[in-house]
Amino acid sequence: MACTEEEFTELLSGEVFIDMDKLIAISRHGIPDKVRPEVWKYLLGISKTDKSEEERVKKQQQQEYKEIDKNDSETTKKIRAHLKRYQNFNRDKSDTRIKIDWQSVEIRNKIENIIISYNNYNNDIEYSFGMLAILGPFISTLQTESDIFFCFAAMMKKIEENLQNESLTLKLSRFIMYFRSVLPELFSHFEEEEINSNDWATSWIQNYLSCELPIECTLRLWDTYLSGRLGLDLHVYVCLAILTNFSEELLELEHSEILSFLQHLPGIDIDQIIAQAYNIFDDIRANNEL
C-alpha cells in the first residue's frame, strides 16, 4: 500500500539524518509527485543522508556542473533531430498529468546542456537516442539543471552496471524466450503478423519504457526500479506483465496496428503491473527457467 505525502515529508524532515532503509521500503509502493524529486535524489545517492553535509554537497555539485563544458555543435544537431522523435513518442495521452513542451527553447537548452555535459564528463561515451529517452523522466520530475544532471548520470551508471551482468543482446534474447513461454498464443500471433522484435522490444528493454508509456506511468514504474528488491532486473518481467495485460487487444490487431500500440502504450495501472511482474518472476524461477 502506497504511503502518503505526509509520511514521506515526515521522514525527509529528519534533522540529523535520513533513514534510508525506511525511505527505500516506503518508496517501493510509489512516491507522491510533490516529494518524488527529493526522494529520487536520495535513492540515486545524489543527496547525502547526513543532513550536516547537505548544503556543502549541493553547492559542490552546482559548482562542478557549472564548470563542465557544454558546447558540442554535432551533438546539438543530433539531439534536436531526436527531440522530434521523442516528442512523437510522448504525444498527448489522456492520463498524462505532466505536460511538457519538448520543443520549447527552455527545455531544449536544458536537455542539450545536460547531455553534452554528460558526454564531456565521460569522454569515452558517445551520444545516442537512448540518453534522451532516459533523461526524459528526470526532466519531467526535477527542476534544477545540476540536480537533473547528477540524477541522470547516476541512472546511466546503474544501467551500465546492470548491463555488465547481462548484455542488452542477452536481455533481449531472454525476454523473447520468456515471451514465447509465458504467452505462446500472442507470440505466435506476432510471428504470423511478421512483427520484428527490433521494431519494439529493443526500445522497451533498452529505454525502460520511458518512450512508450505515458510519463506518469513511467515515473511510478521507476519508483520501484530505484527502490525494489530486484531493481532494474524487474524490468523484463514488467514487460511481460504489460504484454499479458494487453494480450486480448493485441490478438485483435494486425501488423501496423500492433506496432503502433506497442510504441504508444495507453495508460495502465502500474501497481497492478508490478505485482504481476513479481508473480511472473516467481513462476519462472519456480520452473527453473531463470
Assign residue 187 a region (left: φ > 0; alpha: ψ between -120 and 50; beta: otherwise). Answer: alpha
Contact 137, 33 (CB under 8 A): no
Is 153 found in the same domain as 170?
A: no
In the chain, the number of structural domains is 3
Cα–Cα dist 96/268, whole Å: 11
Identify the band that residue 94 occupies on the pLDDT scale cut at 50, 70 and 90: very low
Would residue 264 count as lying in a domain?
yes
Is 154 found in the same domain as 77?
A: yes
Cα–Cα dist 111/150, whole Å: 13
Residue 282 has pLDDT above 70, yes or no: yes
- CATH number of the domain residue 249 falls in: 1.10.472.80
Looking at residue 182, its pLDDT comes to 96
Looking at residue 290, its pLDDT comes to 55
Cα–Cα dist 121/119, whole Å: 5
Report pLDDT digits (tens) over 172-223: 999 999 999 999 999 999 999 999 999 999 999 999 999 899 999 999 999 9
* Exposure of 221 in the CB half-sphere (CA atoms within 13 A): 30
Is 279 found in the same domain as 267?
A: yes
Which of 69-73, 142-146, 155-159 shows the lowest per-residue confidence on average (mean pLDDT)?
69-73
Report pLDDT digits (tens) over 213-254: 999 999 999 999 999 999 999 999 999 999 999 999 999 999
Computed over every residue of the chain, the mean pLDDT equals: 91
Is 114 found in the same domain as 80?
A: yes
Looking at residue 47, its pLDDT comes to 93
Identify the band that residue 97 occupies on the pLDDT scale cut at 50, 70 and 90: very low
> Which among 238, 258, 260 has a CA at the least distance from the CA of 89?
260
Is 99 found in the same domain as 148?
A: yes
Looking at residue 95, its pLDDT comes to 43
Would residue 62 count as lying in a domain?
no
Looking at residue 96, its pLDDT comes to 45
Give the residue from 139, 163, 187 where a domain finishes: 163
Identify the band that residue 99 occupies on the pLDDT scale cut at 50, 70 and 90: low
User: What is the residue range of 204's domain?
Assistant: 166-289
Would residue 203 count as lying in a domain?
yes
Cα–Cα dist 234/208, whole Å: 10
Is 180 found in the same domain as 267?
A: yes
* Residue 250 phi, psi dihedral angles, 5° rounding: -65, -35
Is 254 found in the same domain as 139?
A: no
Q: Is the dihedral of CA 101, 106, 110, 116 positive or negative?
A: positive
Is 37 found in the same domain as 94?
A: no
Cα–Cα dist 176/182, whole Å: 10
Would residue 67 count as lying in a domain?
no
Query: What is the mean predicted confidence (pLDDT) over 20-37?
Result: 95
Give the residue from 148, 163, 178 where a domain finishes: 163
Is 223 found in the same domain as 275?
A: yes
Contact 224, 212 (CB under 8 A): no
Residue 64 has pLDDT above 90, yes or no: yes
Q: Is the dihedral of CA 233, 40, 45, 205 positive or negative?
A: positive
Is 284 found in the same domain as 273?
A: yes
> Which among 66, 53, 62, 51 has a CA at the least distance from the CA of 17?
51
Residue 15 has pLDDT above 80, yes or no: no
Provide the 3-class DSSP secondary structure of residue 159: helix
Query: What is the mean predicted confidence (pLDDT) over 151-166?
Result: 95
Is 285 found in the same domain as 171?
A: yes
Would residue 56 count as lying in a domain?
no
Is 138 found in the same domain as 200?
A: no
Give the residue from 163, 186, 212 where a domain finishes: 163
Would residue 61 count as lying in a domain?
no
Would residue 66 count as lying in a domain?
no
Would residue 65 count as lying in a domain?
no
Cα–Cα dist 153/136, whole Å: 13
Cα–Cα dist 93/86, whole Å: 14
Which of 60-69, 72-81, 138-147 shows the lowest per-residue confidence on average (mean pLDDT)?
72-81
> Which among 115, 140, 118 has a CA at the least distance from the CA of 218?
140
